Structure 1
Amino acid sequence: MPFVRGRKLLIRDSDRRAYVREQIELIRRSSDEDVHEVIIKAGLPDSHDQQLVTTVARALQRRSLSTSPRDVLPIRRELLEEASKRDIPKGRRALAVLKRSQLEDQSLAAQVARRTERPQALRNMREHTLNAMRPLMQSAVIQDSLATEAGRRRRPADPQPRAFWTSGSFLVRMKDKELPKLIDTDAADGIEGVYLNRKLLVPPMVTPKQLPQSVEDNKVSAWGIRMIGALAVWGAFGCRGRGIKVGLLDTGVDATHPDLVGKIAAWAEFDAKGERVLKSTTPHDPDGHGTHCAGTIVGGNAGGRWIGVAPEAEIAAALVISGAKGGTDAQVLAGIDWAIEQGVDVINMSLGGLIWGPDVPSTYTSAILNALRVGIPVVTAIGNEGSQTSGSPGNDLFAFAVGATDYRSWAAGFSGGRTQVIRKSPFFPGGSLPLVYSKPDISAPGVAVLSAAPNGDWRHLNGTSMAAPHVAGAVALLLSATDIKDVVKPHERAFVIQDLLTGSAEELGEAGQDHRFGFGRLDVLRAIGFAKDLGY
């Protein structure tokens, strides 16, 4: 039977089973463990807007041909509104609107606006996905694994595995010899992918031994805040992020830091299986990484210098990765679910795991896509392993990936970036594969960045982890200084935001998008200027 009923065929059942079989064989070859903790990605064609997937994928590929960041600026607001109407009246004016928007089709917003399907409400998306996953989670092979695991731990079996609705996936522990049953039984009809629950490490934090004079000369603020135009935005528009909530998925946060007091609006902690740690009711940060990122997003000037891009915004912080223990994909996926349910306006993830192969897990693709569908850009660090490397989820097709620059506007040597190739995936329409795209999308200050540290301290740190929060903070500034939240439809909002930030970037490398700077270095003052000029 076809994988997708009533829609364009994505992949034959035999091909899909072969794809899942390859994944299972890879897991068994790469690990000597008798029991594997795996994340099973359910095939949920009805919950994924395949038209949106195809539209955005094609638009991102077209962007790679742009020779200037200005090519990817969004179309004017009135054109966006016309293009997004379901029933466009016939006539010269309507035809002219469509032709004009098609001329500017390198912007994501213009492409998404011309979609014809109505977006789903968040609650409906969640319930639909969980209901669609239930038959697979209740299948015999999954229930047998739950019972075996319960017997091993001498406790009653859980009726359902831990599910992550934004990614359409769930976690289960299975014996090595039992894994092939996933493709040899009826359960295979509902499986899109099988992935190890990877161990994610806290990105290394390095303090420069000696600060350049040009960094120390910044007495009013951290150098990056000035470089991206945040200080100028505060003065020109009187906006500092008020009313905007940023989701921070990291090592936690020290809410008692003088630059962060009163700015942590929500808190959660998740364990390695993605379960909420209910006993952890107080925000904390056992590592310091998350506190530093939070400071760059919303920090004040308690130490005598401004450190945050949007000091009047709020943080919804989730601990999904911790010190020496690290974290897991399940923790991060659970954090994405939670952040979206908290109603955040943007998500920052300065974390990930290095991937040497060209393909990326579709679990993050689904989760990030669902965030975009409700208007939430997902800002990610591209990774610290240098040129021609990348980390997941930073290298995901739909992630807003960030590279690092220094105080001279040079690309940091450690900053990642490469061309990605998705060769096989039941998630994408077969006709769009292989899917080739480049990362990062944009760059931001990530060298000798001054921000908060636990116990009321401050530190200068290097890393793309430090660059990403500049972009998340810039989203908060952009939203607080414009009418985007009020005048742009939720399913178009994240694309308008990304178009404005990439389209206004200060180009530093090759013409167009490259592996070092993306489309260029972040300039939030210019982004807001373009937003105002385009009617947002």
Structure 2
Amino acid sequence: MRNRLSLAALTLLPLLASGARAQTELTKADSFLRPVLARASNQSAGWTSVVVKFSGKLDSNQRQQLTALQADTYRNLELIGSAGVRLPTRNLKALAALPFVEHLSADTTVKKSDEFITEHSNAKAVWNDFGYAGWGVNVAVLDSGIKDNHPDMAGGVIANANFNASGNTEDPCGHGTHVAGIIAGFGCASSGPGSFRTFYGVAPGAYLVDVTVLDGKGQGSVTDVIAGIQWVIANKTALNIRILNLSLGHPVGESYKTDPLCQAVEAAWKAGIVVVCAAGNTGRQSDTAQAGQLNEGYGINYGSIQSPGNDPYVITVGAVKNVDGNRANDKLATYSSRGPSRLDFILKPDLVAPGNQVISTLSNTSYLATTYGATNAVKQTEYKTGRDTSSRFYFRLSGTSMAAPVVSGAAAILLEKEPWLTPDTIKARLMLSADKVSDKGGLYTDPCSYGAGMLNIYNAIQSTAVATAPAVSPNLYQDGAGNVYINTSSMLGGTQVIWGVNGVNNLKVVWGNQVIWGTSANILNASQVIWGSAVWSNQVIWGTNTNTVDLSSKAIRGE
């Protein structure tokens, strides 16, 4: 395990990170090699195969320089003035630094990053067309820890702090490592000879700050989480923390105006940190499907958003699932929690993102690995030629816990391009650019299920919207006739411009064409379940002093 960083060293990290990212050799590499190149050091193990573009025909001195790096030229590509070269990964930076080397590209037979979270969020298209991958952006992950000696994490976790009473380190649960890989995993363990799939995170150029607030079973107190948030805010400048990911929560037991956890995430938001929260996995009305019911037979459990995702400032994320490999056919996961929020009727989630059966980094001695290895293990032969054994590096998990870090990665990409963006502008751009979608099993767009739509990073990176007012999610209300309306007074300024964004004064721009007032009131099926005080006031609110990650069967195995 790498040594923990001292507090005295923390102030140096932003300078060190920016200096490393500024190295000219990074500009010579394609988006697949950059994560490997950025982390390459004298201690790096293994070999890397690259296509090297030379500035001209090599002379004897230049060939000697390649030999000194143990570079084996296995294929001449004279047609394009290049060669296929295999060399120790530890020498990759030295190769890129050679003045006669113009460019490096990954040499592989696979379609890199052809995976659910990167393909279906359009992250891969952004890498290829714009070159943005979250370089220089630091993301705090408040979870069960990060196994920072994982090959896909080594060098990527820049600081650690532990606020869980158990004192556990190195992620004994496994949840935090999986979340971290979705944000910034750089695919080393699934790259190289024999690999035919590579499991990148959405923003493989980002750095991670590991803040442990949950124990080995994925549980922790609200005070543990708030202590972690306090630490993040206190170290925001020293560590250049721009994003906070919270793939955890508890049932709503009070208004966000008094909920301590909501107040803490608001403080982080107002301190300039983008806060991304999982919506929760309680979107089903029943555990068994029944014919004739919506939501693939499970019924829709409106009002099931968890805290702190019920806070109007934060970005709350629901989960979609892959149906047939075609992004256009992705569907909302039946378990994804629905809005509006309990008690305050905040219109949530804000958007949805890939989150079902996601392959990401594994803490191989963790609770999840040992308890659910039989059902959730990833076979090595799923991504690499060799023995048909369970991978020591990757694992499958499902839920809005997996969707939230996809959006955190998206925020990192936006902040790399424009570091001055505020959390409100990030939220506005992600929501305005989201693809407006309809439930493939129904006839309507349901903002209480899909929010503003499905994350589209390619659209978001091209957005120029600027929020000059808080981009709060509005609340809903019901009139005497049962019609459901958006309370525009909670989000519109005197000029009737949403969130202060010029030119955006139509709610349908954000939430689609069939929004939930007047003519579409019926989309909140059995709306009395949401507004009927007899139902909610009698609900048993368990665990209001505890934050947990969902380790139920639907979240573990997905659908």
**Comparing both chains, which one has the higher relative contact order based on Cα–Cα distances under 8 Å and sequence gaps of 6 or more?**
1
Q: Match for residue 504 of structure 1?
A: 433
Matches within 5 A, 1:4-83: none
Check the 8 A contact 1:513/1:519 in 2, yes or no: no
Residue 330 and residue 532 in structure 1: after superposition, are their counterparts in 2 closer, same or farther (change >3 A)?
closer
Please tell me whether residue 316 in structure 1 is matched to residue 225 in structure 2: no
Deviation at 1:361, TM superposition (A): 4.3
CA shift at 1:442, angstroms? 0.8
Deviation at 1:372, TM superposition (A): 1.9
Q: Distance in 2 between matches of 1:525 and 1:438?
A: 25
Query: Measured at CA, do residues 361 and 463 of structure 1 come closer, stay the same or move farther in structure 2, by a change above 3 Å?
Result: farther
* CA shift digits 1:164-187 (9 cap, x unpaired): xxxxxxxxxxxxxxxxxxxxxxxx
Q: Is the 8 A contact 2:144 2:218 kept in 1?
A: no
Displacement after TM superposition at 1:356 (Å): 6.4
Deviation at 1:219, TM superposition (A): 6.3
Question: Within the alignment, does 1:480 sit opposite 2:416 as a pair?
Answer: yes
Cα distance between partner residues in 2 of 1:221 and 1:360:
42
- How far off is 1:306 after superposition? 3.2
User: Structure 1 residues 533, 321: CA separation in 2 closer, same or farther (over 3 Å shift)?
Assistant: closer
Between the aligned residues of both structures, percent identity stands at 35
Deviation at 1:340, TM superposition (A): 1.9
Other-structure match for 1:370: 267
Counterpart amino acid of 2:175? H
| Conservation of the 8 A alpha-carbon contact between 2:305 and 2:340 | no
Q: Indicate the structure (1 or 2) with the bigger Cα radius of gyration.
A: 2
**Deviation per CA, 1:487-522, whole angstroms, max 9, x where unpaired?**
x5xxxx110000000110011137776122111111
* Alignment match of 2:222 (pick from 324, 329, 337): 329
CA offset digits 1:22-64 (Å, max 9, x no partner): xxxxxxxxxxxxxxxxxxxxxxxxxxxxxxxxxxxxxxxxxxx
**Distance in 1 between the 2:415 and 2:356 partners?**
26
**Residue matched to 1:236:** 129
- Alpha-carbon distance between aligned partners in 2 of 1:507 and 1:365, rounded to the nearest angstrom: 28
Aligned length: 294
Q: TM-score, normalised by structure 2?
A: 0.49
Alpha-carbon separation, structure 2, partners of 1:271 and 1:459: 24
Partner of 2:185: 299
The letter of the residue matching 2:409 is: G
Q: 1:494 is matched by which residue type in structure 2?
A: P
Q: Which SS does the other structure have where 2:124 is aligned? A: helix
**CA, structure 1 residues 306+270, in 2 after alignment: closer, same or farther (shift >3 Å)?**
same
The residue type equivalent to 1:367 in the other structure is A
Q: Does 1:517 align with 2:450?
A: yes
Contact 1:474 1:524 in 2 (8 A): yes
Q: Following the alignment from structure 1 to structure 2, what is the Cα–Cα distance between the partners of residues 376 and 454?
A: 28
Write the deviation string for residues 126-178 of structure 1: whole angstroms up to 9, x where unpaired: xxxxxxxxxxxxxxxxxxxxxxxxxxxxxxxxxxxxxxxxxxxxxxxxxxxxx
* SS across alignment from 2:463: helix
Task: Give the structure 2 partner of residue 285 of structure 1.
Answer: 171
Task: Find out whether 1:396 has 2:299 as its counterpart.
Answer: no
In structure 2, give the amino acid aligned to 1:240: A
Aligned to 1:148: none
Q: Is the 8 A contact 1:272 1:330 kept in 2?
A: no
User: 1:436 Cα deviation (Å)?
Assistant: 3.5
| 3-state SS in 1 of match to 2:452 | coil
Tell me how far 1:221 sits from its aligned partner. 3.4
* Residue 358 of structure 2 corresponds to residue 449 of structure 1: yes
Give the aligned residue type for 1:368. Answer: V
The separation in 2 between residues aligned to 1:441 and 1:336, in whole angstroms, is 22
Contact 2:339/2:345 (CA < 8 Å) preserved in 1? no
- Alignment-derived partner of residue 407 in structure 1: 322
Deviations along 1:214-242, one digit per CA (max 9) or x if unpaired, are xxx97633211111111111111112111
Q: 3-state DSSP class of the match of 2:449?
A: coil
What residue number does 1:355 align with?
252
Higher mean alpha-carbon deviation, 263-272 vs 317-326, is at 317-326
Quote the Cα distance in structure 2 between the aligned partners of 1:480 and 1:528: 10
**Tell me, which stretches of 5 or more residues in structure 1 are unaligned?**
1-216, 423-434
Indicate yes or no: 2:348 matched with 1:462: no
Q: Could you say if the C-alpha distance between residues 374 and 406 of structure 1 is closer, same or farther in structure 2, counting changes exceeding 3 Å?
A: same
The gaps in structure 2 that reach 5 residues or longer are: 1-109, 192-197, 284-300, 324-329, 365-391, 468-500, 502-559
> By how many angstroms is 1:308 displaced?
0.3
* 1:384 matched residue in structure 2: 281
Q: Classify 1:359/1:340 alpha carbon distance in 2 versus 1 (closer, same or farther; 3 Å).
A: closer
What is the SS of the residue equivalent to 1:225?
A: helix
Q: Relative to structure 1, is the Cα distance of residues 500 and 403 closer, same or farther in structure 2, using a 3 angstrom cutoff?
A: same
Distance in 1 between residues matched to 2:136 and 2:218, nearest whole Å = 35
Contact 1:232 1:525 in 2 (8 A): yes
Higher helix share: 1
* Equivalent residues of 1:358, 1:420 under 8 A apart: no
For 2:413, give the aligned amino acid: L
2:203, 2:319 → 1: CA distance?
19
Q: Deviations along 1:359-396, whole A, 9 cap, x unmatched?
A: 67431232222222222111000111113212111222
Secondary structure, counterpart of 1:519 in structure 2: coil
Residues 494 and 512 of structure 1: is their aligned pair in 2 closer, same or farther, counting only changes over 3 Å? farther
Decide whether the 8 Å contact of 2:305 with 2:342 is kept in 1: no
Relative distance call for 1:416 and 1:321 in structure 2 (3 A) is same
Q: Distance in 1 between matches of 2:209 and 2:400?
A: 21
Name 1:13's counterpart in structure 2: none
Q: Distance in 2 between matches of 1:498 and 1:359?
A: 19
